[in-house]
Chain A
Amino acid sequence: MRNLVSAISGGLFGLGLLISGMTDTAKVQGWLDLFGQWDPTLAFVLGGAILPMLLAWRIAARRKVSAAGDAFPALPEPLIDGRLLTGSILFGAGWALAGFCPGPAIASVTWGGLGGVVFLIAMIGGMLLSTAVGKRRLAAA
C-alpha cells in the first residue's frame, strides 16, 4: 500500500512538473531573470502547489496519524545555520546556471537528451559529495 501511494504521488508529481513548465529550463531561467525578460509563471506554479498543502497540513494536524498509521513528521527546530544557508546559495546558483532543480531533472531524463542525463549524473555526484563533507565535519568535531 505504501508503495502504491508513493507511485501515485510520484506519477502526479511528474505530470505536474511537465504541465506547469518546470521541465523547460528556458522557462525556469526566465523566472530567475528578474532583471531582464522576467517570466512570472513560476509564481503560479509555486502558489498552486502550496494551496493543496496548506489544506493537507491542517488535516494532518487534526488526524495525528497518516492513512498508513504513521505519525506525521515533526516541524524541524527553527535552526538557521551555515549549512542551511551555504546549501541554499549553492543550490540557487546551480538552479540558475542550468534551469533545473532536482524534481524536473529526474522527471525529464527520458526526453531531455544528453544534457539532461549529464546534469542528473552530476547532481547525484554532488549529493554523494555532501555525505563526504558531512563525514569530514563529524571527524573534525
Chain B
Amino acid sequence: MSLSSIPSDWIFGLAGGLLIGLSAAILLLGNARILGASGILGSIVEGSEPDAATERLWFLGALIGVPGIAVLIFGASETNVSGDLPLLVLAGVLVGLGTRLANGCTSGHGVCGMSRFSWRSIVSTLVYLAAGFVVMFVARHILGVL
C-alpha cells in the first residue's frame, strides 16, 4: 500500500486529532484542567465554578475565533448541518442534557478520560457510540429521516 493510496481524509483526521490531543495536553500540563467542551461551556452557562469562568471564557473565545479566522482566510468549510430546525432543536437538547448528566462528551470522556483509563470515561464512550450507531441505523435506514 503506497502512501498516496491512503485517503486524504484519514491523514487530515489523524493530523487534526493530534492537534486536539496537543491542545488537551497543554491545558492539562499548563493549567491542570481537563479539556472537556461540554464541561467548559456548561459551567459558564450554569454559573458554577465562578473562579474558573475567566480562563474558560478565554478558551471559548479562541475556540470560536481561531477556526473562524482560518475559515475566513482559507475559504469556506462545509458543516453540512441539517436544514430541519426542529430536528436540530431536539438533537441540541439531547446533546446538552446528555453530556451534562454524563459529565463529559467526546473530548472529556473520549479523549481525556480514555487516555487515563478512567472506567467512567471508557463506559460512557462505549455507550454513546453504541447509542449513536443504533439511532443512526434506525433514523437513516428504517425511518429514512436522515
Give A21 to B19 CA distance when docked, in angstroms: 12
Q: Which of A20, A109, A130 contacts B20 (CB 8 A)?
A: A20
CB within 8 Å for A32 and B132 given contacts A16-B16, A46-B17: yes
Give A101 to B92 CA distance when docked, in angstroms: 9
| A122 x B21 contact (CB < 8 A) | no
Chain B residues with a Cβ closer than 8 Å to the other chain, count = 106
| B92 x A121 contact (CB < 8 A) | yes
CB within 8 Å for A13 and B97 given contacts A6-B56, A7-B62, A84-B124: no
How far apart are B92's CB and chain A's nearest CB, in angstroms?
3
Q: Quick one: which of B42-63 are within 8 Å of A by CB?
A: 42, 45-46, 54-56, 58-63
Q: Is chain A's interface secondary structure helix, strand, loop, or mixed overall?
A: helix
How far apart are B60's CB and chain A's nearest CB, in angstroms?
6
Q: Which residue of B lies closest to A57 (CB)?
A: B116
Write out, one digit per residue, whether chain A residues 94-136 have a CB within 8 A of any chain B CB (1) or not (0): 1111111111011111111111101111111111111101000
How far apart are A61's CB and chain B's nearest CB, in angstroms?
9
Q: Quick one: which of B111-143 are within 8 Å of A by CB?
A: 111-112, 114-116, 118-120, 123-125, 127-137, 139-141
Q: Which of A29, A33, A73, A124 contacts B45 (CB 8 A)?
A: A124
Write out, one digit per residue, whether chain B residues 71-88 have a CB within 8 A of any chain A CB (1) or not (0): 100001111111101011
How far apart are A112's CB and chain B's nearest CB, in angstroms?
4
CB within 8 Å for A33 and B140 given contacts A12-B22, A60-B28: yes
Q: How large is the interface on A (under 10, 10 to 19, 20 to 34, 35 or more residues)?
A: 35 or more
Q: Which of chain A's residues have a CB closer than 8 A to the CB of B62?
A: 6-11, 14
| B14 x A7 contact (CB < 8 A) | no
CB within 8 Å for A101 and B111 given contacts A52-B25, A127-B41, A130-B97: no
Q: Identify 30 residue pairs between A and B in the complex whose beta-carbon atoms are under 8 Å apart, listed by A's number.
A: A7-B58, A7-B61, A9-B31, A9-B59, A10-B58, A13-B63, A15-B16, A19-B12, A41-B13, A45-B16, A49-B20, A50-B114, A78-B118, A78-B119, A80-B120, A86-B98, A87-B100, A87-B103, A95-B128, A101-B37, A102-B106, A105-B92, A110-B71, A115-B83, A122-B90, A126-B97, A127-B38, A127-B46, A129-B93, A130-B96
